[in-house]
A and B are shown apart, each in its own frame.
Chain A
Amino acid sequence: MAEGSPRIMKRLVPMWIAIIAGFVMLLSAFFPITESLGETVGEIFNVVAAIAFVLGAGSLAKVNLAKISRRDQGWGYAAITLICFAITLVVGLGKIGVPQSTQFPLLGWSGEKDAEGSIFGWIYEFALVPITSTMFALLAFYVASAAFRAFRAKNLEAILLLSTAFIVLLGRTFAGVVLTGWLPDWASGLRLENLSVYIMQVFNTAGNRAIIIGIALGVTATSLRILLGVDRSWMGSGD
Chain B
Amino acid sequence: MISSALILCAISLDSSGASDVGLANTSITAAGNKADLRGKIPLNELGQEISAPPAAISISAEDVAWDAGGAIKISWQPAAGTTSATKWIVERSEVLAAGQGAGQGPGQGPWTLVTEVPIAETNAVVSKLSPDASFFFRVTAVSPNGSSAVTTTKSAAKGHWNFFISAKLPLFCAILLVSACVIYFILAARRGRPMKVRRIAALEAIKDAVGRATEMGRSILFVPGIQDMDNIQTVAGLTVLGNVSRTAAEYDAAIEVPTSRSLVMEAAREAVQASYLAAGRADAYNADAIRYITDEQFGFVAYVSGRMVREKPAACFYMGCFFAESLILAETGNSIGAIQIAGTAESSQLPFFVAACDYTLIGEEFMAASAYLSGEPDQIGSLKGQDVAKAIAAIIIIIGVVLATGAAIAPQGAMPAALEWLKGVLGS
| A31 near B386: Cβ-Cβ < 8 Å | no
A-B contacts, 21 of them at CB < 8 A, read A31-B164, A32-B68, A53-B262, A59-B291, A63-B291, A131-B302, A142-B328, A146-B330, A147-B355, A211-B363, A214-B362, A217-B393, A220-B389, A225-B370, A230-B376, A233-B374, A234-B242, A236-B270, A236-B272, A236-B274, A237-B277
| B362 near A211: Cβ-Cβ < 8 Å | yes
At the interface, yes or no: A150 with Cβ under 8 Å from chain B? yes
Q: Chain B residues near A136: list those with CB within 8 A.
A: 298, 324
| B376 near A138: Cβ-Cβ < 8 Å | no
| B382 near A230: Cβ-Cβ < 8 Å | yes
**Restricting to A82-115, which residues have a CB under 8 Å from any CB of B?**
none
Q: Chain A residues near B261: list those with CB within 8 A.
A: 49, 52, 56
Closest 5 pairs (CB-CB, A-B): A236-B274, A218-B367, A56-B262, A56-B292, A218-B364
| A222 near B235: Cβ-Cβ < 8 Å | yes
Prevailing SS type, chain B contact patch: helix
Q: Residue of B at shortest CB range from A73?
A: B310
At the interface, yes or no: A154 with Cβ under 8 Å from chain B? no
Q: Residue of A at shortest CB range from B354?
A: A150
A-binding segment of B20-28, B96-104, B175-183: B175-183
Q: Mark B318-339, 1 if CB is under 8 A from A, else 0.
A: 0000001001101100100000
Considering only CB atoms and an 8 Å cut-off, how many residues of chain A contact the other chain?
Answer: 63
| B383 near A221: Cβ-Cβ < 8 Å | yes
At the interface, yes or no: B405 with Cβ under 8 Å from chain A? no
CB < 8 Å neighbour of B243 from A131, A233, A239: A233
Q: 16 more A-B contacts (CB under 8 A) besides A63-B291, A218-B366?
A: A30-B168, A31-B163, A32-B67, A49-B229, A52-B263, A55-B262, A56-B261, A56-B262, A131-B302, A132-B299, A136-B324, A217-B364, A219-B232, A221-B389, A224-B178, A238-B376
Q: Chain A residues near B301: list those with CB within 8 A.
A: 135
CB < 8 Å neighbour of B350 from A62, A138, A211, A228: A211
Q: A146-B356, A239-B278 are in contact. Are A132 and B291 (CB under 8 A)?
A: no
Q: Residue of B at shortest CB range from A219?
A: B232
Q: A136-B298, A224-B182, A224-B183 are in contact. Are A235 and B345 (CB under 8 A)?
A: no
Taken together as a complex, chains A and B put the C-alpha atoms of A138 and B373 apart, in Å, by 36
| A236 near B347: Cβ-Cβ < 8 Å | no
Taken together as a complex, chains A and B put the C-alpha atoms of A74 and B306 apart, in Å, by 12
Shortest CB-to-CB span from A159 to chain B, Å, is 16
Q: Mark A42-63, 1 if CB is under 8 A from B, else 0.
A: 0001001100111111011011
| B327 near A139: Cβ-Cβ < 8 Å | yes
Q: Chain A residues near B161: list those with CB within 8 A.
A: 32-33
| B270 near A215: Cβ-Cβ < 8 Å | no
